[in-house]
Amino acid sequence: MLWYKASMTVPLAASIVDLLLGLKLGASDEAAHDRWALKGVTWKSGQEGAIEAGIRQFEATALRLASGGLALEIDRVAVHGLAGHLQTDAGALHLTALEAAEAELSGVRLQGPLTVPPQLRAAWQALRSADAAATPGTAAEAWCLGPLDAADGTIRGEITDAHLLFDADVTVPIRQGHIDFNDATVEHVGPDSRMGVSRLGLYVDAPNGRSYLYQFASAPLAGVEFERRGALLSPWVSERGKLHLKTFAETMLRQSAAGQGQGLTEQARLLLGRTALSGEVQLSDGLFAVPGLHVRLEQSAEGRNAVAMRSDALGQGLNVEMDSLSAGKAVVAWRGAQVACDKITARLKLQLRVEGQQLRFVLEIENCKVTGARVDLRPHREARNA
């Protein structure tokens, strides 16, 4: 076994990370130093100048990687059955792909501003094109929220000194991926208020009138059943409307990406600063896809992929926890490289924080196990040589 401290980090490994991923590699704790261990190293020449490198077991501790405003810290990572593919190009040796039978990670912490870098969008478009070429008609959409399709749960909010008349307790049930506003309640001192959805947006009907929390840029909107009134020209609402969460959320994301101007009203922004939120939602199996990532959630019938949410004030931030993530067929695109795995299980904790005009996040991962991991670096090299 070979051990390397921070001052003796393998130069080749560091240069590969810097060159191919544009990351800054170092120790997460200067006092503790990062440590690397390799077991069972093999090196074999192949056809046309190719080289196959293998490592039976790789282990590293106290790592820190940075890229722009993002920082990734890993307390420990252990990889089993690691294989690297190298190719000679113009007299130089380049790593083109990595594979691992299994990997275990603990103490993972990723943090930074919550933004989607332009290069990530470009990489995702390249990934979609590759998917379409491989399997025509089944390319992943840029936004797909399949786990919302049959989600079940309840969201509760407590609004302090609400404009709706005194303090208010809001309860919004989610049943089989739908929100039926006939079942949503807004309770406070005096006559209760009602929530609903019209062609103008999401609203609350309080004793002092209707207030819109979220206004749509255009109507009709996919995934929405709008309110219906009773008799002709009747002022009374007989049906408060429904949302199909998957379709509605995907439509909102696409409209937002296109720059359409729907959004929270000023009144809603003020309410968020005085709203505490809690809730539990059991996600269903299905494809989750956003620019740069697509992954299929699995085993919801066994209680996996349940989400808990909590916030003392939504205007300041939100905590989201998933005690038992279970997913497969994950693909991530980053700076042209493609990372994929067959199966991943983990415990996740996400913190969103509002700092001035910026939204920042901290993602913590524990008990993470990955099987069938693959890293393809050829798209990155092709992009650099183009």
**More reliable by pLDDT, 93 or 214:** 214
> Where does the pLDDT of residue 109 fall: very low under 50, low under 70, confident under 90, or very high at 90 and above?
very high
* Plot region of 134 (φ>0 → left; ψ -120 to 50 → alpha; else → beta): alpha
Average pLDDT over residues 56-75: 89
Residue pLDDT, tens place only, 359-379 = 899 999 999 999 999 998 865
**Strands 286-290 and 293-297: what pairing?**
antiparallel
Whether the predicted model's global pTM rises above the 0.85 cut: no
What single string gives the DSSP state of each residue in 79-113? EEEEEEEEEEETTEEEEEEEEEEEEEEEEEEEEEE
Give residue 286's pLDDT band: very low, low, confident or very high (50, 70, 90).
Answer: very high
Phi and psi of 136, rounded to 5°? -55, 135
Domain boundaries, the chain: 2-113, 152-277
Q: pLDDT > 90: what percent of the chain? A: 46
Which residue would you say has higher pLDDT here, 90 or 14?
90
Region of poorest pLDDT, from 72-86, 243-257, 363-377: 243-257
**pLDDT tens-place string over residues 304-351:** 999 999 999 988 999 999 999 999 999 988 767 889 999 999 999 999
More confident residue, 260 or 38: 38
What is the overall mean pLDDT for the chain? 80
